[in-house]
Protein backbone atom coordinates (compact mmCIF):
# COMPACT_ATOMS: atom_id res chain seq x y z
CA UNK A 1 0.00 0.00 0.00
CA UNK A 2 1.30 3.45 -0.93
CA UNK A 3 2.03 5.89 1.89
CA UNK A 4 -0.82 8.35 2.29
CA UNK A 5 1.16 11.25 0.84
CA UNK A 6 1.96 9.19 -2.28
CA UNK A 7 -1.47 7.72 -2.93
CA UNK A 8 -3.30 8.80 -6.05
CA UNK A 9 -6.83 10.21 -5.88
CA UNK A 10 -9.43 7.80 -7.23
CA UNK A 11 -10.33 10.20 -10.05
CA UNK A 12 -6.71 10.28 -11.21
CA UNK A 13 -6.45 6.50 -11.16
CA UNK A 14 -9.65 6.27 -13.16
CA UNK A 15 -8.34 8.76 -15.70
CA UNK A 16 -5.09 6.83 -16.11
CA UNK A 17 -6.95 3.56 -16.59
CA UNK A 18 -9.29 5.14 -19.16
CA UNK A 19 -6.41 6.65 -21.14
CA UNK A 20 -4.38 3.42 -21.00
CA UNK A 21 -7.39 1.41 -22.12
CA UNK A 22 -8.09 3.80 -24.99
CA UNK A 23 -4.47 3.71 -26.17
CA UNK A 24 -4.35 -0.08 -25.91
CA UNK A 25 -7.61 -0.38 -27.84
CA UNK A 26 -6.30 1.83 -30.64
CA UNK A 27 -3.05 -0.14 -30.84
CA UNK A 28 -4.83 -3.51 -30.80
CA UNK A 29 -7.26 -2.32 -33.47
CA UNK A 30 -4.49 -1.10 -35.71
CA UNK A 31 -2.45 -4.27 -35.23
CA UNK A 32 -5.19 -6.88 -35.57
CA UNK A 33 -8.31 -5.29 -37.08
CA UNK A 34 -7.13 -2.43 -39.30
CA UNK A 35 -7.37 -3.64 -42.93
CA UNK A 36 -3.96 -2.09 -43.63
CA UNK A 37 -2.29 -4.31 -41.02
CA UNK A 38 -2.11 -7.12 -43.58
CA UNK A 39 -0.08 -5.06 -46.04
CA UNK A 40 3.71 -5.37 -46.30
CA UNK A 41 5.58 -3.01 -44.00
CA UNK A 42 7.52 -2.81 -40.73
CA UNK A 43 5.62 -3.91 -37.61
CA UNK A 44 5.65 -0.47 -36.01
CA UNK A 45 3.76 1.13 -38.91
CA UNK A 46 0.69 -0.91 -37.89
CA UNK A 47 0.14 1.40 -34.94
CA UNK A 48 2.45 4.40 -35.31
CA UNK A 49 3.57 6.99 -37.84
CA UNK A 50 6.37 8.21 -35.57
CA UNK A 51 9.31 7.07 -37.71
CA UNK A 52 7.68 8.52 -40.82
CA UNK A 53 7.25 11.88 -39.10
CA UNK A 54 10.81 11.75 -37.82
CA UNK A 55 12.03 11.47 -41.41
CA UNK A 56 9.74 14.28 -42.53
CA UNK A 57 11.36 16.58 -39.97
CA UNK A 58 14.82 15.55 -41.21
CA UNK A 59 13.90 16.06 -44.85
CA UNK A 60 14.47 12.38 -45.69
CA UNK A 61 10.93 11.02 -46.06
CA UNK A 62 11.31 9.94 -49.73
CA UNK A 63 14.55 8.09 -48.91
CA UNK A 64 12.93 6.32 -45.96
CA UNK A 65 9.84 5.32 -47.94
CA UNK A 66 12.04 4.15 -50.81
CA UNK A 67 13.91 1.87 -48.43
CA UNK A 68 10.62 0.41 -47.19
CA UNK A 69 9.70 -0.41 -50.80
CA UNK A 70 13.05 -2.09 -51.24
CA UNK A 71 12.65 -4.25 -48.15
CA UNK A 72 8.93 -5.02 -48.12
CA UNK A 73 7.85 -4.69 -51.74
CA UNK A 74 7.52 -7.62 -54.12
CA UNK A 75 11.12 -7.17 -55.19
CA UNK A 76 12.99 -7.09 -51.92
CA UNK A 77 16.46 -5.93 -51.08
CA UNK A 78 18.17 -5.22 -47.78
CA UNK A 79 17.88 -1.51 -46.87
CA UNK A 80 20.92 0.35 -45.64
CA UNK A 81 19.20 3.45 -44.32
CA UNK A 82 20.27 4.18 -40.75
CA UNK A 83 18.12 7.08 -39.53
CA UNK A 84 20.47 10.00 -39.56
CA UNK A 85 23.99 9.00 -40.47
CA UNK A 86 25.65 7.89 -43.69
CA UNK A 87 23.40 5.85 -45.95
CA UNK A 88 23.45 4.05 -49.24
CA UNK A 89 20.48 4.59 -51.52
CA UNK A 90 18.87 1.36 -52.64
CA UNK A 91 18.16 0.49 -56.22
CA UNK A 92 15.40 -2.14 -56.40
CA UNK A 93 11.99 -0.86 -55.44
CA UNK A 94 8.89 -2.91 -54.74
CA UNK A 95 5.26 -2.07 -55.40
CA UNK A 96 3.19 -1.46 -52.25
CA UNK A 97 4.07 -0.83 -48.61
CA UNK A 98 2.35 0.40 -45.45
CA UNK A 99 4.03 3.50 -43.98
CA UNK A 100 1.54 4.31 -41.19
CA UNK A 101 -1.75 2.95 -39.78
CA UNK A 102 -3.66 5.04 -42.33
CA UNK A 103 -1.31 5.44 -45.31
CA UNK A 104 0.19 3.19 -47.96
CA UNK A 105 2.70 3.93 -50.71
CA UNK A 106 2.43 2.48 -54.20
CA UNK A 107 5.19 2.34 -56.81
CA UNK A 108 3.40 0.16 -59.35
CA UNK A 109 2.97 1.99 -62.67
CA UNK A 110 -0.55 0.71 -63.41
CA UNK A 111 -1.73 1.69 -59.92
CA UNK A 112 -0.03 5.08 -60.23
CA UNK A 113 -1.85 5.73 -63.51
CA UNK A 114 -5.18 4.88 -61.90
CA UNK A 115 -4.54 7.12 -58.89
CA UNK A 116 -3.55 10.10 -61.04
CA UNK A 117 -5.99 9.50 -63.89
CA UNK A 118 -7.38 12.75 -65.30
CA UNK A 119 -10.95 11.53 -64.80
CA UNK A 120 -10.18 9.57 -61.63
CA UNK A 121 -11.91 9.79 -58.27
CA UNK A 122 -8.81 9.88 -56.06
CA UNK A 123 -9.03 13.36 -54.55
CA UNK A 124 -6.11 15.18 -53.03
CA UNK A 125 -5.53 14.39 -49.37
CA UNK A 126 -6.44 17.00 -46.71
CA UNK A 127 -2.68 17.13 -46.05
CA UNK A 128 -2.31 19.67 -48.84
CA UNK A 129 -4.43 22.12 -46.84
CA UNK A 130 -2.14 21.62 -43.84
CA UNK A 131 0.86 22.41 -46.03
CA UNK A 132 -0.34 26.01 -46.28
CA UNK A 133 -1.90 28.40 -43.73
CA UNK A 134 -5.55 27.42 -43.05
CA UNK A 135 -7.05 30.43 -44.83
CA UNK A 136 -5.16 29.83 -48.09
CA UNK A 137 -6.97 28.02 -50.91
CA UNK A 138 -5.27 27.72 -54.28
CA UNK A 139 -4.85 25.52 -57.32
CA UNK A 140 -2.23 23.44 -55.46
CA UNK A 141 -3.95 22.59 -52.19
CA UNK A 142 -7.64 22.39 -53.07
CA UNK A 143 -9.44 19.04 -53.23
CA UNK A 144 -12.52 20.71 -54.74
CA UNK A 145 -12.60 19.40 -58.32
CA UNK A 146 -14.78 22.21 -59.70
CA UNK A 147 -12.76 24.97 -58.00
CA UNK A 148 -9.55 23.43 -59.33
CA UNK A 149 -10.99 23.07 -62.83
CA UNK A 150 -11.98 26.76 -62.97
CA UNK A 151 -8.59 27.94 -61.74
CA UNK A 152 -6.73 25.65 -64.09
CA UNK A 153 -8.80 26.94 -67.00
CA UNK A 154 -7.66 30.48 -66.20
CA UNK A 155 -4.03 29.55 -65.76
CA UNK A 156 -3.40 26.85 -68.36
CA UNK A 157 -3.64 29.10 -71.42
CA UNK A 158 -0.97 31.66 -70.40
CA UNK A 159 1.31 28.80 -69.29
CA UNK A 160 0.98 26.89 -72.57
CA UNK A 161 3.95 26.41 -74.89
CA UNK A 162 2.46 28.70 -77.53
CA UNK A 163 1.92 31.54 -75.04
CA UNK A 164 5.39 31.17 -73.55
CA UNK A 165 7.04 31.71 -76.95
CA UNK A 166 6.14 35.38 -76.62
CA UNK A 167 8.06 35.77 -73.34
CA UNK A 168 11.20 33.85 -74.29
CA UNK A 169 13.17 37.08 -74.65
CA UNK A 170 12.49 37.94 -71.00
CA UNK A 171 13.50 34.47 -69.84
CA UNK A 172 16.73 34.59 -71.83
CA UNK A 173 17.65 38.04 -70.55
CA UNK A 174 17.50 36.81 -66.96
CA UNK A 175 19.50 33.69 -67.76
CA UNK A 176 22.19 35.82 -69.44
CA UNK A 177 22.38 37.95 -66.28
CA UNK A 178 22.69 34.84 -64.09
CA UNK A 179 25.54 33.39 -66.16
CA UNK A 180 27.25 36.78 -66.14
CA UNK A 181 26.98 36.86 -62.35
CA UNK A 182 28.40 33.33 -62.05
CA UNK A 183 31.30 34.20 -64.36
CA UNK A 184 32.13 37.39 -62.46
CA UNK A 185 32.02 35.56 -59.13
CA UNK A 186 34.41 32.94 -60.52
CA UNK A 187 36.84 35.71 -61.45
CA UNK A 188 36.53 37.36 -58.05
CA UNK A 189 36.77 34.37 -55.69
CA UNK A 190 37.73 31.41 -57.87
CA UNK A 191 34.28 29.80 -57.92
CA UNK A 192 30.68 30.79 -58.49
CA UNK A 193 27.76 29.59 -56.40
CA UNK A 194 25.35 28.43 -59.10
CA UNK A 195 22.72 27.55 -56.50
CA UNK A 196 22.46 31.20 -55.55
CA UNK A 197 22.46 32.56 -59.10
CA UNK A 198 19.92 30.04 -60.43
CA UNK A 199 17.64 31.00 -57.55
CA UNK A 200 17.97 34.67 -58.47
CA UNK A 201 17.27 33.83 -62.11
CA UNK A 202 14.15 31.74 -61.44
CA UNK A 203 12.83 34.32 -58.98
CA UNK A 204 13.26 37.21 -61.39
CA UNK A 205 11.69 35.22 -64.23
CA UNK A 206 8.57 34.31 -62.27
CA UNK A 207 8.31 37.86 -60.93
CA UNK A 208 8.51 39.48 -64.35
CA UNK A 209 6.29 36.98 -66.14
CA UNK A 210 3.67 36.76 -63.41
CA UNK A 211 3.45 40.34 -62.21
CA UNK A 212 5.09 42.41 -64.93
CA UNK A 213 7.94 43.40 -62.66
CA UNK A 214 11.23 41.69 -61.83
CA UNK A 215 12.28 41.16 -58.21
CA UNK A 216 15.73 42.42 -59.31
CA UNK A 217 17.60 39.64 -57.50
CA UNK A 218 20.11 39.36 -60.34
CA UNK A 219 20.93 43.06 -60.17
CA UNK A 220 21.70 43.03 -56.45
CA UNK A 221 23.47 39.66 -56.49
CA UNK A 222 22.57 39.05 -52.86
CA UNK A 223 19.90 37.13 -51.00
CA UNK A 224 17.38 39.55 -49.62
CA UNK A 225 14.53 39.00 -47.18
CA UNK A 226 12.31 37.74 -49.97
CA UNK A 227 14.66 34.85 -50.83
CA UNK A 228 15.15 34.01 -47.15
CA UNK A 229 11.37 33.91 -46.70
CA UNK A 230 10.95 31.52 -49.64
CA UNK A 231 13.56 29.17 -48.15
CA UNK A 232 11.98 29.34 -44.69
CA UNK A 233 8.51 28.78 -46.09
CA UNK A 234 9.63 25.65 -47.92
CA UNK A 235 11.11 24.04 -44.82
CA UNK A 236 8.19 25.01 -42.60
CA UNK A 237 5.58 23.58 -44.97
CA UNK A 238 6.55 19.99 -44.25
CA UNK A 239 6.48 20.54 -40.50
CA UNK A 240 3.16 22.37 -40.74
CA UNK A 241 1.69 19.48 -42.67
CA UNK A 242 3.04 16.86 -40.27
CA UNK A 243 2.46 18.59 -36.95
CA UNK A 244 -0.43 21.04 -37.47
CA UNK A 245 -1.01 21.25 -33.72
CA UNK A 246 2.41 22.89 -33.33
CA UNK A 247 1.25 25.80 -35.46
CA UNK A 248 -1.67 26.37 -33.10
CA UNK A 249 0.63 25.86 -30.12
CA UNK A 250 2.97 28.55 -31.42
CA UNK A 251 0.16 31.07 -30.97
CA UNK A 252 0.28 30.35 -27.25
CA UNK A 253 3.91 29.34 -26.73
CA UNK A 254 6.29 31.37 -28.93
CA UNK A 255 8.35 28.59 -30.51
CA UNK A 256 11.18 30.45 -32.33
CA UNK A 257 11.26 28.31 -35.49
CA UNK A 258 7.50 28.36 -36.04
CA UNK A 259 7.27 32.01 -35.10
CA UNK A 260 9.90 32.83 -37.73
CA UNK A 261 8.11 30.66 -40.31
CA UNK A 262 4.80 32.40 -39.61
CA UNK A 263 6.49 35.77 -40.03
CA UNK A 264 8.02 34.72 -43.36
CA UNK A 265 4.63 33.51 -44.60
CA UNK A 266 3.06 36.80 -43.61
CA UNK A 267 5.73 38.78 -45.48
CA UNK A 268 5.27 36.64 -48.60
CA UNK A 269 1.54 37.27 -48.52
CA UNK A 270 2.09 41.01 -48.09
CA UNK A 271 4.47 40.96 -51.03
CA UNK A 272 1.92 39.09 -53.14
CA UNK A 273 -0.74 41.67 -52.26
CA UNK A 274 1.58 44.54 -53.18
CA UNK A 275 2.59 42.83 -56.43
CA UNK A 276 -1.04 42.38 -57.43
CA UNK A 277 -1.82 46.05 -56.85
CA UNK A 278 1.13 47.01 -59.08
CA UNK A 279 0.24 44.34 -61.64
CA UNK A 280 -3.33 45.54 -62.02
CA UNK A 281 -2.02 49.01 -62.71
CA UNK A 282 0.57 47.77 -65.22
CA UNK A 283 -1.99 45.52 -66.95
CA UNK A 284 -4.35 48.47 -67.35
CA UNK A 285 -1.65 50.79 -68.67
CA UNK A 286 0.21 48.32 -70.92
CA UNK A 287 -2.02 45.91 -72.81
CA UNK A 288 1.02 44.25 -74.42
CA UNK A 289 2.76 43.60 -71.10
CA UNK A 290 3.85 39.90 -71.02
CA UNK A 291 2.02 39.11 -67.80
CA UNK A 292 1.07 35.44 -67.47
CA UNK A 293 -1.44 36.04 -64.69
CA UNK A 294 -3.22 38.89 -66.44
CA UNK A 295 -6.46 36.91 -66.62
CA UNK A 296 -6.50 36.51 -62.85
CA UNK A 297 -6.38 40.25 -62.38
CA UNK A 298 -9.56 40.79 -64.41
CA UNK A 299 -12.01 39.98 -61.65
CA UNK A 300 -14.98 41.00 -63.76
CA UNK A 301 -14.17 38.17 -66.16
CA UNK A 302 -13.08 35.35 -63.88
CA UNK A 303 -15.20 35.93 -60.80
CA UNK A 304 -12.25 35.51 -58.43
CA UNK A 305 -12.13 37.46 -55.22
CA UNK A 306 -9.05 39.47 -54.27
CA UNK A 307 -8.28 36.75 -51.71
CA UNK A 308 -8.38 34.04 -54.40
CA UNK A 309 -5.98 36.07 -56.52
CA UNK A 310 -3.55 36.60 -53.63
CA UNK A 311 -3.67 32.91 -52.64
CA UNK A 312 -2.68 31.83 -56.15
CA UNK A 313 -0.15 34.63 -56.59
CA UNK A 314 1.64 33.36 -53.47
CA UNK A 315 1.71 29.90 -54.98
CA UNK A 316 3.30 31.19 -58.20
CA UNK A 317 5.93 33.14 -56.26
CA UNK A 318 7.04 30.13 -54.22
CA UNK A 319 6.51 27.33 -56.75
CA UNK A 320 8.17 29.23 -59.58
CA UNK A 321 11.36 30.02 -57.69
CA UNK A 322 13.16 27.24 -55.84
CA UNK A 323 11.86 24.35 -57.98
CA UNK A 324 13.54 25.35 -61.24
CA UNK A 325 16.53 26.79 -59.38
CA UNK A 326 17.24 23.55 -57.51
CA UNK A 327 16.84 21.43 -60.64
CA UNK A 328 19.31 23.65 -62.53
CA UNK A 329 21.69 23.48 -59.58
CA UNK A 330 21.73 19.68 -59.65
CA UNK A 331 21.97 19.63 -63.44
CA UNK A 332 25.03 21.89 -63.41
CA UNK A 333 26.65 19.83 -60.66
CA UNK A 334 25.92 16.46 -62.29
CA UNK A 335 27.21 17.51 -65.72
CA UNK A 336 30.35 19.05 -64.22
CA UNK A 337 30.92 15.82 -62.25
CA UNK A 338 30.93 13.84 -65.50
CA UNK A 339 33.46 15.39 -67.93
CA UNK A 340 32.50 13.02 -70.76
CA UNK A 341 28.87 14.11 -70.52
CA UNK A 342 29.93 17.76 -70.32
CA UNK A 343 32.23 17.50 -73.33
CA UNK A 344 29.54 15.78 -75.42
CA UNK A 345 27.09 18.53 -74.52
CA UNK A 346 29.57 21.30 -75.34
CA UNK A 347 30.31 19.71 -78.71
CA UNK A 348 26.59 19.52 -79.51
CA UNK A 349 26.07 23.16 -78.51
CA UNK A 350 28.76 24.29 -80.96
CA UNK A 351 26.34 23.55 -83.79
CA UNK A 352 23.99 26.31 -82.63
CA UNK A 353 23.85 29.72 -84.31
CA UNK A 354 24.84 32.72 -82.14
CA UNK A 355 21.25 33.90 -81.89
CA UNK A 356 19.74 30.48 -81.15
CA UNK A 357 16.26 30.20 -79.67
CA UNK A 358 14.50 27.62 -77.55
CA UNK A 359 13.13 26.09 -80.74
CA UNK A 360 16.71 25.33 -81.82
CA UNK A 361 17.29 23.46 -78.56
CA UNK A 362 14.32 21.13 -78.73
CA UNK A 363 16.01 18.82 -81.22
CA UNK A 364 19.36 18.52 -79.41
CA UNK A 365 19.65 14.92 -78.23
CA UNK A 366 22.41 15.30 -75.65
CA UNK A 367 20.97 18.42 -74.04
CA UNK A 368 17.47 17.01 -73.70
CA UNK A 369 18.77 13.66 -72.45
CA UNK A 370 20.67 15.51 -69.72
CA UNK A 371 17.57 17.42 -68.68
CA UNK A 372 15.48 14.23 -68.52
CA UNK A 373 18.12 12.39 -66.51
CA UNK A 374 18.42 15.32 -64.10
CA UNK A 375 14.66 15.36 -63.64
CA UNK A 376 14.72 11.61 -63.03
CA UNK A 377 17.36 11.75 -60.29
CA UNK A 378 16.97 15.29 -58.99
CA UNK A 379 13.49 16.46 -59.91
CA UNK A 380 12.30 19.29 -57.70
CA UNK A 381 9.29 17.44 -56.25
CA UNK A 382 10.18 13.75 -55.69
CA UNK A 383 8.06 13.49 -52.54
CA UNK A 384 4.77 11.78 -51.76
CA UNK A 385 1.69 12.93 -53.66
CA UNK A 386 -1.05 11.71 -51.27
CA UNK A 387 -4.54 10.95 -52.53
CA UNK A 388 -7.67 9.62 -50.83
CA UNK A 389 -9.11 6.24 -51.80
CA UNK A 390 -12.76 6.81 -52.87
CA UNK A 391 -15.58 5.58 -50.63
CA UNK A 392 -16.07 2.30 -52.49
CA UNK A 393 -12.46 1.28 -51.87
CA UNK A 394 -9.96 -0.09 -54.37
CA UNK A 395 -7.77 -3.13 -54.92
CA UNK A 396 -4.10 -2.69 -55.76
CA UNK A 397 -1.72 -5.60 -56.28
CA UNK A 398 -3.98 -8.06 -54.50
CA UNK A 399 -4.56 -5.83 -51.47
CA UNK A 400 -7.94 -4.27 -50.71
CA UNK A 401 -7.73 -0.65 -49.53
CA UNK A 402 -10.85 0.73 -47.81
CA UNK A 403 -12.32 4.12 -48.66
CA UNK A 404 -10.65 6.98 -46.84
CA UNK A 405 -7.19 5.39 -46.89
CA UNK A 406 -4.38 7.73 -47.85
CA UNK A 407 -2.54 6.26 -50.84
CA UNK A 408 0.62 7.96 -52.03
CA UNK A 409 3.01 7.73 -54.94
CA UNK A 410 6.45 9.30 -55.14
CA UNK A 411 8.61 10.02 -58.14
CA UNK A 412 11.70 9.28 -56.05
CA UNK A 413 10.88 5.57 -56.10
CA UNK A 414 9.27 5.36 -59.54
CA UNK A 415 12.42 6.89 -61.02
CA UNK A 416 14.63 4.30 -59.30
CA UNK A 417 12.95 1.06 -60.32
CA UNK A 418 15.94 -0.94 -61.54
CA UNK A 419 13.83 -3.17 -63.77
CA UNK A 420 12.98 0.01 -65.72
CA UNK A 421 16.11 2.12 -65.15
CA UNK A 422 19.22 -0.13 -64.95
CA UNK A 423 21.88 1.30 -62.61
CA UNK A 424 19.22 3.70 -61.33
CA UNK A 425 21.53 5.74 -59.09
CA UNK A 426 23.95 6.44 -61.95
CA UNK A 427 23.70 9.67 -63.93
CA UNK A 428 23.44 8.24 -67.45
CA UNK A 429 21.74 10.68 -69.86
CA UNK A 430 22.24 8.32 -72.80
CA UNK A 431 19.53 6.02 -71.41
CA UNK A 432 17.00 8.52 -72.82
CA UNK A 433 18.17 8.24 -76.44
CA UNK A 434 15.70 5.40 -77.05
CA UNK A 435 13.45 5.32 -73.98
CA UNK A 436 11.15 2.34 -73.47
CA UNK A 437 7.41 2.69 -72.92
CA UNK A 438 7.97 1.71 -69.28
CA UNK A 439 10.50 4.53 -68.85
CA UNK A 440 8.03 7.06 -70.23
CA UNK A 441 5.22 5.71 -68.04
CA UNK A 442 7.32 5.80 -64.86
CA UNK A 443 8.65 9.30 -65.52
CA UNK A 444 6.63 11.88 -63.59
CA UNK A 445 8.88 14.72 -62.34
CA UNK A 446 5.98 17.18 -62.61
CA UNK A 447 3.29 14.96 -61.11
CA UNK A 448 0.55 13.44 -63.20
CA UNK A 449 -3.04 13.54 -64.36
CA UNK A 450 -5.22 16.62 -63.98
CA UNK A 451 -2.97 17.91 -61.18
CA UNK A 452 0.23 17.91 -63.23
CA UNK A 453 2.36 20.99 -62.55
CA UNK A 454 0.99 24.05 -64.34
CA UNK A 455 4.46 25.49 -64.79
CA UNK A 456 6.07 22.51 -66.48
CA UNK A 457 6.41 24.19 -69.90
CA UNK A 458 7.97 27.29 -68.35
CA UNK A 459 10.37 25.10 -66.35
CA UNK A 460 11.38 23.14 -69.45
CA UNK A 461 12.12 26.33 -71.40
CA UNK A 462 14.20 27.69 -68.52
CA UNK A 463 16.12 24.42 -68.21
CA UNK A 464 16.90 24.22 -71.93
CA UNK A 465 18.00 27.82 -72.27
CA UNK A 466 19.94 27.93 -68.98
CA UNK A 467 21.82 24.70 -69.75
CA UNK A 468 22.74 25.82 -73.26
CA UNK A 469 23.81 29.34 -72.29
CA UNK A 470 25.80 28.21 -69.24
CA UNK A 471 27.83 25.50 -70.99
CA UNK A 472 28.39 27.58 -74.13
CA UNK A 473 29.79 30.31 -71.92
CA UNK A 474 31.70 28.00 -69.55
CA UNK A 475 32.57 24.87 -71.56
CA UNK A 476 35.19 23.71 -69.06
CA UNK A 477 33.23 24.20 -65.88
CA UNK A 478 33.97 21.80 -63.03
CA UNK A 479 32.90 21.28 -59.43
CA UNK A 480 35.06 23.40 -57.12
CA UNK A 481 36.65 22.37 -53.82
CA UNK A 482 36.81 25.97 -52.62
CA UNK A 483 35.74 26.43 -48.98
CA UNK A 484 35.66 22.62 -48.57
CA UNK A 485 32.87 22.20 -51.12
CA UNK A 486 32.22 18.44 -51.50
CA UNK A 487 29.56 15.94 -52.55
CA UNK A 488 28.08 16.01 -49.05
CA UNK A 489 26.87 19.54 -49.76
CA UNK A 490 24.68 18.07 -52.48
CA UNK A 491 23.02 15.40 -50.32
CA UNK A 492 19.27 15.87 -50.77
CA UNK A 493 17.05 17.47 -48.19
CA UNK A 494 13.44 17.09 -49.22
CA UNK A 495 10.77 19.11 -47.46
CA UNK A 496 8.43 18.35 -50.36
CA UNK A 497 10.82 20.28 -52.66
CA UNK A 498 14.32 18.85 -53.10
CA UNK A 499 17.31 21.06 -52.30
CA UNK A 500 21.02 20.50 -51.52
CA UNK A 501 21.86 20.11 -47.84
CA UNK A 502 24.78 22.53 -48.07
CA UNK A 503 22.61 25.24 -49.69
CA UNK A 504 25.41 25.93 -52.17
CA UNK A 505 27.04 24.50 -55.29
CA UNK A 506 30.42 26.00 -56.13
CA UNK A 507 31.56 25.69 -59.74
CA UNK A 508 34.92 26.82 -61.16
CA UNK A 509 36.79 26.65 -64.48
CA UNK A 510 39.39 24.08 -65.44
Alpha-carbon distance 400 to 38, whole Å? 10
Report yes or no: 411 and 354 within 8 Å, Cβ to Cβ.
no
At 338-386, the pLDDT tens digits run: 999 999 999 999 999 999 999 999 999 999 999 999 999 999 999 999 9
Q: How confident is the model at residue 4 (pLDDT cuts 50, 70, 90)?
A: very low
Give the closest residue to 36 by CA, choosing from 115, 101, 125, 112: 101
Going by the annotation, the residues of the binding site are 453
Model-level pTM?
A: 0.87
Residue 23 burial by CB count (10 A; 0-12/13-18/19+): exposed, middle or buried? exposed
Q: Which domains does the chain have, with CATH numbers?
A: 39-131+382-447 (no CATH), 145-377+453-509 (1.10.630.10)
As a whole number, mean pLDDT of residues 183-194 equals 98
Phi/psi for 241 (5° steps) reads -75, -25
Report yes or no: 97 and 72 within 8 Å, Cβ to Cβ.
yes
Going by the annotation, the residues of the binding site for heme are 453
Q: Select the more confidently predicted residue: 455 or 335.
A: 335
At 463-507, the pLDDT tens digits run: 999 999 999 999 999 999 999 999 999 999 998 899 999 999 999
At 192-219, the pLDDT tens digits run: 999 999 999 999 998 888 777 788 899 9
- Can you list the alpha helix ranges (DSSP code H) found in 243-364? 244-250, 256-285, 294-297, 299-302, 306-319, 322-337, 339-349, 358-361
3-state secondary structure of 467: helix
At 265-322, the pLDDT tens digits run: 788 888 878 877 877 777 676 666 666 666 666 655 555 777 887 788 778 877 888 8
The region that residue 81 occupies, defined by phi over 0 for left and psi between -120 and 50 for alpha, beta otherwise, is beta
Q: How confident is the model at residue 81 (pLDDT cuts 50, 70, 90)?
A: very low
Amino acid sequence: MLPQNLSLPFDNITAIVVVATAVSTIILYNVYTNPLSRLPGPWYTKWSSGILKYNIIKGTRPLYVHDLHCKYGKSSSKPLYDFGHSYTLLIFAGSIVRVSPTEVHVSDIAATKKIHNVKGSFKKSPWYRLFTPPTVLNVFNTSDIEFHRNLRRLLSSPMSESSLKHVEVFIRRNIDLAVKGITEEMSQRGAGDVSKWWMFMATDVIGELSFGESFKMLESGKKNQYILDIEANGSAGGIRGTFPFMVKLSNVIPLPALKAAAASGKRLREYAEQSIVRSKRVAAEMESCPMLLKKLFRSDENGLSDKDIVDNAMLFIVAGSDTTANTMTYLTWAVCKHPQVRDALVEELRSLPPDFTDQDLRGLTCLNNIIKETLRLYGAAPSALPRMVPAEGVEFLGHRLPGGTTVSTQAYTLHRKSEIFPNPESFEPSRWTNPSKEMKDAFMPFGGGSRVCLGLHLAEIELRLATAIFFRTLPYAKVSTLDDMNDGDMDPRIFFVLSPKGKRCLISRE
